[in-house]
Amino acid sequence: MSGLLCLLLIATGGCSFKKDPANGKGAPVTLIEEKALPEHVASLDEVISGDDEEKAIEALVQRKDELAALSRGGAVSALDLAIKHGKQKVAQFLLISGHSPFVLNQESREKLTYDAAMGKLIESAQLDGMMDILRSYPKKTYEGIAPDTSMQKFRDRIDEYKLGYSGCEKFANMLMEREYLNRDPSMPGLYYQVLDMLKPREVFNALLKDTSCSAETSRFSTELINKWVGYEFLYQFQSSFKSIDFIKSLVSMRKGVALSLVVPAGDWHRDHQGLLSSQVKVSPLAMLMLKKDCFSDEGQRDEWVGLIRELILQAGQDYSYPYYMPDDIPDGIGSCMGENKYCAKNPSNVENLYKIFHYTNSKSQILQTEFYSLYTGERRQFVKMTFDQFKAEICTEQDRRTY
Protein backbone atom coordinates (compact mmCIF):
# COMPACT_ATOMS: atom_id res chain seq x y z
CA MET A 1 0.00 0.00 0.00
CA SER A 2 2.77 2.43 0.96
CA GLY A 3 4.59 1.60 -2.28
CA LEU A 4 1.46 2.46 -4.25
CA LEU A 5 1.12 5.73 -2.35
CA CYS A 6 4.75 6.60 -3.08
CA LEU A 7 4.22 6.01 -6.79
CA LEU A 8 1.24 8.33 -6.70
CA LEU A 9 3.27 10.95 -4.90
CA ILE A 10 6.10 10.68 -7.43
CA ALA A 11 3.59 11.26 -10.18
CA THR A 12 2.21 14.38 -8.47
CA GLY A 13 5.33 16.06 -7.16
CA GLY A 14 7.87 13.78 -5.51
CA CYS A 15 8.34 11.25 -2.67
CA SER A 16 10.90 11.67 0.15
CA PHE A 17 11.49 10.21 3.61
CA LYS A 18 12.58 12.21 6.67
CA LYS A 19 12.89 11.56 10.40
CA ASP A 20 9.86 12.20 12.64
CA PRO A 21 10.74 15.47 14.45
CA ALA A 22 8.62 14.48 17.46
CA ASN A 23 10.35 11.28 18.52
CA GLY A 24 13.52 11.39 16.42
CA LYS A 25 13.30 7.61 15.92
CA GLY A 26 13.52 7.83 12.21
CA ALA A 27 9.93 6.85 11.57
CA PRO A 28 9.21 7.38 7.90
CA VAL A 29 7.18 10.51 7.21
CA THR A 30 6.09 11.18 3.67
CA LEU A 31 6.15 14.82 2.56
CA ILE A 32 4.82 16.19 -0.69
CA GLU A 33 7.19 18.78 -2.25
CA GLU A 34 5.68 20.90 -5.02
CA LYS A 35 7.99 21.78 -7.89
CA ALA A 36 7.13 24.78 -10.10
CA LEU A 37 7.29 24.23 -13.87
CA PRO A 38 10.07 26.24 -15.55
CA GLU A 39 8.92 29.53 -17.00
CA HIS A 40 8.94 29.65 -20.82
CA VAL A 41 11.70 31.90 -22.20
CA ALA A 42 10.84 33.29 -25.63
CA SER A 43 13.36 32.61 -28.38
CA LEU A 44 14.90 35.54 -30.23
CA ASP A 45 12.75 34.62 -33.19
CA GLU A 46 9.64 34.94 -31.03
CA VAL A 47 10.86 38.20 -29.52
CA ILE A 48 11.52 39.78 -32.91
CA SER A 49 8.27 38.52 -34.45
CA GLY A 50 6.15 40.15 -31.74
CA ASP A 51 3.71 42.95 -32.52
CA ASP A 52 5.41 45.58 -30.34
CA GLU A 53 8.77 46.44 -31.89
CA GLU A 54 9.71 48.78 -29.03
CA LYS A 55 9.33 45.97 -26.49
CA ALA A 56 11.24 43.67 -28.81
CA ILE A 57 14.14 46.13 -28.88
CA GLU A 58 14.08 46.42 -25.06
CA ALA A 59 14.25 42.64 -24.79
CA LEU A 60 17.11 42.45 -27.25
CA VAL A 61 19.06 45.00 -25.21
CA GLN A 62 18.66 42.79 -22.15
CA ARG A 63 19.77 39.72 -24.10
CA LYS A 64 22.74 41.26 -25.87
CA ASP A 65 25.03 38.31 -25.12
CA GLU A 66 22.60 35.86 -26.68
CA LEU A 67 22.14 38.26 -29.59
CA ALA A 68 25.90 38.47 -30.13
CA ALA A 69 26.20 34.67 -30.00
CA LEU A 70 23.52 34.31 -32.68
CA SER A 71 25.31 36.79 -34.92
CA ARG A 72 28.65 35.02 -34.59
CA GLY A 73 27.50 31.78 -36.13
CA GLY A 74 24.64 29.89 -37.66
CA ALA A 75 22.70 30.18 -40.85
CA VAL A 76 20.28 32.80 -39.49
CA SER A 77 21.31 36.09 -37.89
CA ALA A 78 19.17 38.47 -35.87
CA LEU A 79 19.05 40.76 -38.92
CA ASP A 80 17.77 37.84 -41.00
CA LEU A 81 14.96 37.38 -38.46
CA ALA A 82 14.05 41.08 -38.59
CA ILE A 83 13.90 40.93 -42.39
CA LYS A 84 11.91 37.69 -42.26
CA HIS A 85 9.22 39.27 -40.07
CA GLY A 86 9.35 42.69 -41.74
CA LYS A 87 10.40 44.53 -38.57
CA GLN A 88 12.06 47.72 -39.80
CA LYS A 89 12.61 49.31 -36.37
CA VAL A 90 14.26 46.15 -35.10
CA ALA A 91 16.42 45.96 -38.23
CA GLN A 92 17.43 49.59 -37.79
CA PHE A 93 18.31 48.95 -34.13
CA LEU A 94 20.47 45.98 -35.11
CA LEU A 95 22.27 47.96 -37.81
CA ILE A 96 22.97 50.84 -35.41
CA SER A 97 24.21 48.29 -32.88
CA GLY A 98 26.89 47.11 -35.30
CA HIS A 99 25.31 44.22 -37.18
CA SER A 100 26.70 44.06 -40.70
CA PRO A 101 24.14 44.78 -43.45
CA PHE A 102 26.10 42.42 -45.71
CA VAL A 103 25.63 39.28 -43.59
CA LEU A 104 22.34 38.02 -45.00
CA ASN A 105 21.18 34.54 -45.90
CA GLN A 106 19.57 33.61 -49.19
CA GLU A 107 16.03 33.87 -47.79
CA SER A 108 16.68 37.45 -46.69
CA ARG A 109 18.14 38.44 -50.04
CA GLU A 110 15.09 37.05 -51.81
CA LYS A 111 12.67 38.81 -49.45
CA LEU A 112 14.39 42.15 -50.00
CA THR A 113 13.52 41.96 -53.70
CA TYR A 114 9.83 42.46 -52.91
CA ASP A 115 9.90 44.25 -49.54
CA ALA A 116 10.69 47.73 -50.90
CA ALA A 117 10.85 49.54 -47.56
CA MET A 118 13.13 46.98 -45.94
CA GLY A 119 15.19 46.77 -49.12
CA LYS A 120 15.74 50.52 -49.09
CA LEU A 121 16.85 50.38 -45.44
CA ILE A 122 19.38 47.60 -46.07
CA GLU A 123 20.61 49.20 -49.30
CA SER A 124 21.22 52.47 -47.48
CA ALA A 125 23.07 50.68 -44.68
CA GLN A 126 25.23 48.84 -47.21
CA LEU A 127 26.08 52.10 -48.97
CA ASP A 128 27.04 53.66 -45.62
CA GLY A 129 29.21 50.62 -44.92
CA MET A 130 30.99 50.90 -48.26
CA MET A 131 31.61 54.59 -47.65
CA ASP A 132 33.03 53.75 -44.24
CA ILE A 133 35.37 51.21 -45.84
CA LEU A 134 36.42 53.72 -48.48
CA ARG A 135 37.33 56.27 -45.83
CA SER A 136 39.87 53.79 -44.47
CA TYR A 137 41.61 53.51 -47.86
CA PRO A 138 44.93 55.38 -47.82
CA LYS A 139 44.60 58.61 -49.79
CA LYS A 140 48.35 58.59 -50.26
CA THR A 141 51.41 57.14 -48.63
CA TYR A 142 52.52 59.68 -46.09
CA GLU A 143 56.14 60.03 -45.08
CA GLY A 144 57.11 57.49 -42.48
CA ILE A 145 54.08 55.25 -43.15
CA ALA A 146 54.70 52.16 -45.23
CA PRO A 147 52.07 51.39 -47.91
CA ASP A 148 51.22 47.98 -46.42
CA THR A 149 50.68 49.57 -42.97
CA SER A 150 48.18 52.09 -44.30
CA MET A 151 46.48 49.42 -46.42
CA GLN A 152 45.97 47.27 -43.33
CA LYS A 153 43.23 49.60 -42.07
CA PHE A 154 41.41 49.07 -45.35
CA ARG A 155 41.74 45.29 -45.05
CA ASP A 156 40.63 45.29 -41.42
CA ARG A 157 37.53 47.34 -42.14
CA ILE A 158 36.49 44.92 -44.89
CA ASP A 159 36.89 42.04 -42.45
CA GLU A 160 34.86 43.87 -39.78
CA TYR A 161 31.93 44.25 -42.17
CA LYS A 162 32.17 40.58 -43.23
CA LEU A 163 31.45 41.44 -46.83
CA GLY A 164 31.43 37.87 -48.12
CA TYR A 165 31.14 37.26 -51.85
CA SER A 166 27.89 39.22 -52.17
CA GLY A 167 29.24 42.29 -50.39
CA CYS A 168 32.55 42.15 -52.25
CA GLU A 169 30.69 41.90 -55.55
CA LYS A 170 28.45 44.85 -54.66
CA PHE A 171 31.41 46.95 -53.52
CA ALA A 172 33.38 46.14 -56.68
CA ASN A 173 30.39 47.02 -58.87
CA MET A 174 29.94 50.34 -57.07
CA LEU A 175 33.56 51.23 -57.83
CA MET A 176 33.24 50.23 -61.49
CA GLU A 177 30.07 52.23 -62.02
CA ARG A 178 31.72 55.28 -60.46
CA GLU A 179 34.70 54.79 -62.77
CA TYR A 180 32.70 54.59 -65.99
CA LEU A 181 29.18 55.97 -65.58
CA ASN A 182 27.79 59.43 -65.10
CA ARG A 183 26.81 60.57 -61.63
CA ASP A 184 23.48 59.34 -60.33
CA PRO A 185 21.49 62.37 -59.09
CA SER A 186 19.68 60.19 -56.55
CA MET A 187 22.93 59.38 -54.73
CA PRO A 188 23.95 61.54 -51.76
CA GLY A 189 26.65 64.13 -52.39
CA LEU A 190 28.88 62.66 -49.69
CA TYR A 191 29.10 59.48 -51.75
CA TYR A 192 30.85 61.35 -54.55
CA GLN A 193 32.94 63.49 -52.21
CA VAL A 194 34.54 60.33 -50.84
CA LEU A 195 35.05 58.75 -54.26
CA ASP A 196 36.36 61.94 -55.83
CA MET A 197 39.32 61.81 -53.44
CA LEU A 198 40.20 58.34 -54.72
CA LYS A 199 40.77 56.57 -58.01
CA PRO A 200 37.96 53.97 -58.23
CA ARG A 201 39.96 51.67 -60.51
CA GLU A 202 42.90 51.73 -58.12
CA VAL A 203 40.64 50.84 -55.18
CA PHE A 204 38.99 48.12 -57.30
CA ASN A 205 42.38 46.54 -58.00
CA ALA A 206 43.38 46.72 -54.33
CA LEU A 207 40.02 45.28 -53.25
CA LEU A 208 40.39 42.19 -55.42
CA LYS A 209 44.10 41.71 -54.85
CA ASP A 210 45.03 42.72 -51.30
CA THR A 211 41.96 41.94 -49.18
CA SER A 212 39.74 39.01 -48.18
CA CYS A 213 37.63 39.80 -51.27
CA SER A 214 40.36 38.34 -53.47
CA ALA A 215 39.16 34.85 -52.53
CA GLU A 216 35.57 35.67 -53.55
CA THR A 217 36.00 36.66 -57.21
CA SER A 218 35.39 33.09 -58.43
CA ARG A 219 31.80 33.48 -57.20
CA PHE A 220 31.14 36.80 -58.91
CA SER A 221 28.34 36.83 -61.45
CA THR A 222 29.55 36.21 -65.01
CA GLU A 223 26.89 38.63 -66.20
CA LEU A 224 28.31 41.35 -63.96
CA ILE A 225 31.87 40.74 -65.14
CA ASN A 226 30.59 40.90 -68.74
CA LYS A 227 29.18 44.33 -67.92
CA TRP A 228 32.51 45.51 -66.50
CA VAL A 229 34.33 44.23 -69.59
CA GLY A 230 31.87 46.21 -71.72
CA TYR A 231 32.53 49.37 -69.70
CA GLU A 232 36.29 49.03 -70.12
CA PHE A 233 36.03 48.19 -73.82
CA LEU A 234 34.01 51.33 -74.54
CA TYR A 235 36.47 53.38 -72.53
CA GLN A 236 39.36 51.91 -74.53
CA PHE A 237 37.49 52.61 -77.76
CA GLN A 238 37.15 56.25 -76.75
CA SER A 239 40.85 56.42 -75.90
CA SER A 240 41.97 54.51 -79.03
CA PHE A 241 42.82 51.28 -77.18
CA LYS A 242 45.79 52.54 -75.18
CA SER A 243 46.04 49.65 -72.75
CA ILE A 244 44.87 46.04 -72.73
CA ASP A 245 46.03 45.11 -69.22
CA PHE A 246 42.92 45.97 -67.22
CA ILE A 247 40.42 44.32 -69.54
CA LYS A 248 42.58 41.18 -69.55
CA SER A 249 42.51 41.13 -65.75
CA LEU A 250 38.71 41.36 -65.82
CA VAL A 251 38.44 38.54 -68.35
CA SER A 252 40.71 36.35 -66.21
CA MET A 253 38.24 36.42 -63.30
CA ARG A 254 35.87 33.87 -64.83
CA LYS A 255 35.86 31.40 -67.69
CA GLY A 256 33.33 32.12 -70.38
CA VAL A 257 33.34 35.91 -70.09
CA ALA A 258 31.79 37.43 -73.22
CA LEU A 259 31.45 40.85 -74.81
CA SER A 260 28.51 42.16 -76.78
CA LEU A 261 27.51 45.77 -77.35
CA VAL A 262 24.09 47.28 -77.91
CA VAL A 263 24.05 50.97 -78.76
CA PRO A 264 21.25 53.47 -79.44
CA ALA A 265 20.69 53.44 -83.17
CA GLY A 266 19.25 56.92 -83.60
CA ASP A 267 18.47 57.45 -87.28
CA TRP A 268 21.39 55.47 -88.69
CA HIS A 269 20.05 51.94 -88.67
CA ARG A 270 17.08 50.37 -90.45
CA ASP A 271 16.01 46.78 -90.22
CA HIS A 272 15.41 44.47 -93.18
CA GLN A 273 11.97 46.03 -93.69
CA GLY A 274 13.38 49.53 -93.78
CA LEU A 275 12.03 50.50 -90.37
CA LEU A 276 14.12 52.58 -87.98
CA SER A 277 15.44 50.66 -84.98
CA SER A 278 15.92 52.13 -81.51
CA GLN A 279 18.90 49.91 -80.73
CA VAL A 280 21.43 47.94 -82.69
CA LYS A 281 24.03 45.30 -81.85
CA VAL A 282 27.51 46.21 -82.97
CA SER A 283 30.50 43.92 -83.26
CA PRO A 284 33.27 44.93 -80.83
CA LEU A 285 35.72 43.75 -83.50
CA ALA A 286 34.29 46.32 -85.92
CA MET A 287 34.77 49.07 -83.33
CA LEU A 288 38.32 47.84 -82.74
CA MET A 289 39.20 47.77 -86.43
CA LEU A 290 37.81 51.26 -86.93
CA LYS A 291 40.85 52.35 -84.87
CA LYS A 292 43.33 50.03 -86.59
CA ASP A 293 45.66 52.89 -87.55
CA CYS A 294 45.77 54.20 -83.97
CA PHE A 295 47.85 51.33 -82.61
CA SER A 296 51.52 51.99 -81.95
CA ASP A 297 52.55 48.65 -83.45
CA GLU A 298 51.04 45.64 -85.17
CA GLY A 299 51.76 43.32 -82.25
CA GLN A 300 49.57 45.42 -79.97
CA ARG A 301 46.79 45.34 -82.57
CA ASP A 302 47.10 41.56 -82.94
CA GLU A 303 46.78 41.10 -79.17
CA TRP A 304 43.59 43.13 -79.07
CA VAL A 305 42.12 41.33 -82.08
CA GLY A 306 42.82 37.94 -80.49
CA LEU A 307 41.19 38.90 -77.19
CA ILE A 308 38.11 40.48 -78.76
CA ARG A 309 37.55 37.59 -81.15
CA GLU A 310 37.61 35.21 -78.19
CA LEU A 311 35.08 37.33 -76.30
CA ILE A 312 32.81 37.58 -79.34
CA LEU A 313 32.94 33.80 -79.82
CA GLN A 314 31.89 33.27 -76.20
CA ALA A 315 29.02 35.75 -76.58
CA GLY A 316 27.58 33.52 -79.30
CA GLN A 317 25.65 36.35 -80.95
CA ASP A 318 25.32 37.78 -84.43
CA TYR A 319 25.79 41.48 -85.00
CA SER A 320 24.09 43.89 -87.37
CA TYR A 321 27.37 45.59 -88.15
CA PRO A 322 30.11 42.95 -88.03
CA TYR A 323 33.68 42.93 -89.15
CA TYR A 324 34.54 39.95 -91.30
CA MET A 325 37.96 38.34 -90.89
CA PRO A 326 39.45 36.01 -93.55
CA ASP A 327 38.23 32.84 -91.84
CA ASP A 328 34.62 33.96 -91.38
CA ILE A 329 33.68 35.79 -94.57
CA PRO A 330 30.36 34.36 -95.83
CA ASP A 331 30.21 33.01 -99.35
CA GLY A 332 29.50 35.66 -101.92
CA ILE A 333 30.50 38.62 -99.79
CA GLY A 334 33.71 39.19 -101.72
CA SER A 335 37.40 38.75 -101.12
CA CYS A 336 39.73 40.50 -98.72
CA MET A 337 40.91 42.71 -101.60
CA GLY A 338 44.43 41.36 -101.33
CA GLU A 339 44.85 41.83 -97.56
CA ASN A 340 44.26 38.48 -95.94
CA LYS A 341 45.11 39.41 -92.36
CA TYR A 342 42.48 42.00 -91.43
CA CYS A 343 40.40 42.34 -94.63
CA ALA A 344 40.51 46.11 -94.16
CA LYS A 345 39.65 46.74 -97.81
CA ASN A 346 36.65 44.44 -97.94
CA PRO A 347 33.69 46.56 -99.15
CA SER A 348 31.25 45.17 -96.57
CA ASN A 349 33.72 45.84 -93.76
CA VAL A 350 34.34 49.42 -94.86
CA GLU A 351 30.63 50.11 -95.26
CA ASN A 352 29.88 48.84 -91.76
CA LEU A 353 32.81 50.73 -90.26
CA TYR A 354 31.56 53.98 -91.77
CA LYS A 355 28.17 53.49 -90.12
CA ILE A 356 29.85 53.08 -86.75
CA PHE A 357 32.16 56.02 -87.45
CA HIS A 358 29.19 58.19 -88.38
CA TYR A 359 27.47 57.30 -85.11
CA THR A 360 30.51 57.85 -82.89
CA ASN A 361 31.66 60.99 -84.78
CA SER A 362 28.29 62.52 -85.60
CA LYS A 363 29.77 66.01 -86.14
CA SER A 364 32.30 64.83 -88.69
CA GLN A 365 31.87 66.05 -92.27
CA ILE A 366 33.58 63.04 -93.85
CA LEU A 367 31.43 61.49 -96.57
CA GLN A 368 31.19 57.75 -97.10
CA THR A 369 33.18 57.88 -100.35
CA GLU A 370 35.93 59.87 -98.65
CA PHE A 371 35.96 57.49 -95.70
CA TYR A 372 36.27 54.51 -98.04
CA SER A 373 39.22 56.00 -99.90
CA LEU A 374 41.10 57.11 -96.80
CA TYR A 375 40.47 53.94 -94.78
CA THR A 376 41.54 51.59 -97.57
CA GLY A 377 44.51 53.74 -98.52
CA GLU A 378 43.26 54.60 -101.98
CA ARG A 379 44.12 58.13 -103.09
CA ARG A 380 41.50 59.84 -105.20
CA GLN A 381 41.43 63.38 -106.47
CA PHE A 382 38.10 64.32 -104.89
CA VAL A 383 39.38 63.52 -101.38
CA LYS A 384 40.56 66.81 -99.90
CA MET A 385 41.62 65.42 -96.51
CA THR A 386 45.06 63.92 -96.11
CA PHE A 387 45.55 60.54 -94.46
CA ASP A 388 47.22 62.18 -91.45
CA GLN A 389 44.19 64.40 -90.94
CA PHE A 390 41.92 61.39 -91.27
CA LYS A 391 43.98 59.42 -88.75
CA ALA A 392 43.95 62.34 -86.32
CA GLU A 393 40.16 62.49 -86.48
CA ILE A 394 39.77 58.73 -86.02
CA CYS A 395 42.30 58.52 -83.19
CA THR A 396 41.43 61.66 -81.24
CA GLU A 397 40.48 60.72 -77.71
CA GLN A 398 36.78 61.35 -77.26
CA ASP A 399 35.02 62.69 -74.22
CA ARG A 400 33.99 59.76 -72.08
CA ARG A 401 30.43 58.71 -72.81
CA THR A 402 28.15 55.88 -71.86
CA TYR A 403 26.13 53.78 -74.28
Of the candidates 232, 243, 229, 222, the one whose C-alpha atom is nearest the C-alpha of residue 294 is 243
How far apart CA 55 and CA 47 sit, in angstroms, is: 8
Higher per-residue confidence, 135 vs 263: 135
Q: Which is it for the CA torsion 133, 139, 141, 142, positive or negative? A: negative
pLDDT at 371: 92
- Stated pTM of the model: 0.79
- Mean pLDDT for the chain overall: 81
Region label for 115, one of left (φ > 0), alpha (ψ between -120 and 50) or beta (otherwise): beta
pLDDT tens-digit map of 382-394: 778 888 888 988 9
Region 32-41: mean pLDDT is 62
For residue 17, pLDDT over 50 is answered with no
Q: Is 263 helix (H, G, I), strand (E, B) or coil?
A: strand
Higher per-residue confidence, 274 vs 278: 278
Torsion of CA 120, 124, 126, 130, to 10 degrees: 150
- Tell me how crowded residue 392 is: count the other CB atoms within 10 A of its CB: 12
pLDDT at 278: 67
Which residues in 18-55 are b (16+ Cβ under 10 Å) and which e? eeeeeeeeeeeeeeeeeeeeeeeeeebeebbbeeebee
pLDDT at 341: 86
CA 370 to chain centre: 44
Which of 133-142, 196-205, 266-275 bottoms out in mean pLDDT, i.e. has the lowest?
A: 266-275
Which of 80-84, 198-202, 300-304, 370-374 bottoms out in mean pLDDT, i.e. has the lowest?
A: 198-202
How far apart CA 139 and CA 301 sit, in angstroms, is: 35
**Beta bridge partners of residue 262, listed in sequence order:** 281
pLDDT at 403: 39
pLDDT tens-digit map of 308-355: 999 999 988 778 889 998 887 776 666 787 778 899 888 889 999 998
For residue 233, pLDDT over 80 is answered with yes
